[in-house]
Amino acid sequence: MFSLPPLFQGPSSLQAVVAVAVLTAVLCCVFAPRTAVAHENVYTKERGVRALYIFGDSLVDVGNNHYLPLSIIRADFPHNGIDFPGKKATGRFSNGKNAADFIAMNLGLESPPAYLSLSDAPDRTRTFLAGVNFASGGAGISDDTARELEQCLPVNKQLDYFSEVRQALVCQLGVEKAKKHLSRSLFVLVIGSNDIFRYVKCEHECPLQLFVDSMALALERQLKRMHDLGARMLVFVGTGPVGCCPSHRVWNKTGDCHDLANHISLRYNEAVYRVLQKIKAERGDFCYSFFDTYKVVMDYIQNPEAYGFAEGRAACCGLGTLNAKVACLPISSFCDDRKAHVFWDFHHPTERTYEMLANVIFRGSKEYVFPVNAGQLTSL
């Protein structure tokens, strides 16, 4: 039977602890911004998605790295954003919108703002109710990946920030309404590519199976923490054929895909799906949709014409072989027809590719999205 530690066993000590807890809750809610009435419709809907919370790497980063002064992994300069409204670079690694934007559009929601952009916002809790984007270019499951790739927000840090958001929601709505709000919100996680890139680059510093197992174990802890913080509906976007990114094709004289990187991606995705099944078995209120990015993107690469693409190997923006020797920088050249390319730069898809992937996430068959697609998940 659980018993309190000695420090809290005396009646007077327990009363003091309770008093401090009550006072903390009162102060928190007294000083929290009063926006519950204005957003009553957001968290009283009986069905539908109430908010969108996004975690991950550069595939869904909407500008968090712009607020990290030491980060070298940024996209807040031309030619990024050339097709974005206003033709401006926003921190998205894309010629326009990215996956986060199209996922939000499929839900009928505004694309959530970058968490770090809200540091000086006068009424952050009002924004938190609709969703937040914590994703950061260069992020990985492992904190070591972030250190290797300079300053970014690894998944653990992103979850720390979400914990702060959750606390703000509790103060604003109360425990039960905050819990209900989060249970009807959609959580999206896009992670793993940078960990794989790092493993391949570091010349296999540990056995492959050990590496995949360690990623799966760390991810399991992170997903369980996300669940503990209130997440009940999760879309997990698996890693694509990362060895077919232009950046890794140029490692081969033939320009072919990097077989080891692709093999690791497949093994990682298999491990992720086992983790999701395990958590579902242990926590019955956890519902998920797994998107097999690998299979879909490989289809685009191997049969570009069938999907309306003309180029599935080279990047649109960059310099050198396959436009992949130099990143998409202001000095780089870029293609005129971005819609004809699968890849925007040496790592990231074009806006059109992002849009097509999001459509499969929400409407795809079980060949690509399982056990249900995101559209079915959010209708449960």
> Which residues, other chains included, contact 119 with Cβ-Cβ below 8 Å and sequence gap of 6+?
67
Q: Which positions are annotated as active-site residues?
A: 58, 345, 348
Q: Looking at the chain, how many residues does it have?
A: 380
Name the pairing type of β-strands 317-318 and 233-237. Answer: unpaired
Do you find a cis peptide bond into 371, omega within 30 degrees of 0? yes
Cα(155)–Cα(142) distance, rounded to whole angstroms?
A: 8
Q: How many CB atoms lie within 10 A of CB 262?
A: 20
**DSSP secondary structure letter of residue 111:** P
Q: How many CB atoms lie within 10 A of CB 118?
A: 17
Name the pairing type of β-strands 333-334 and 317-318. Answer: antiparallel
> Which residues, other chains included, contact 11 with Cβ-Cβ below 8 Å and sequence gap of 6+?
none
Angle at 151 between CA 150 and CA 157, to 5 degrees: 125
Cα(292)–Cα(240) distance, rounded to whole angstroms?
A: 8
3-class DSSP state for residue 234?
A: strand
Cα(125)–Cα(204) distance, rounded to whole angstroms?
A: 44
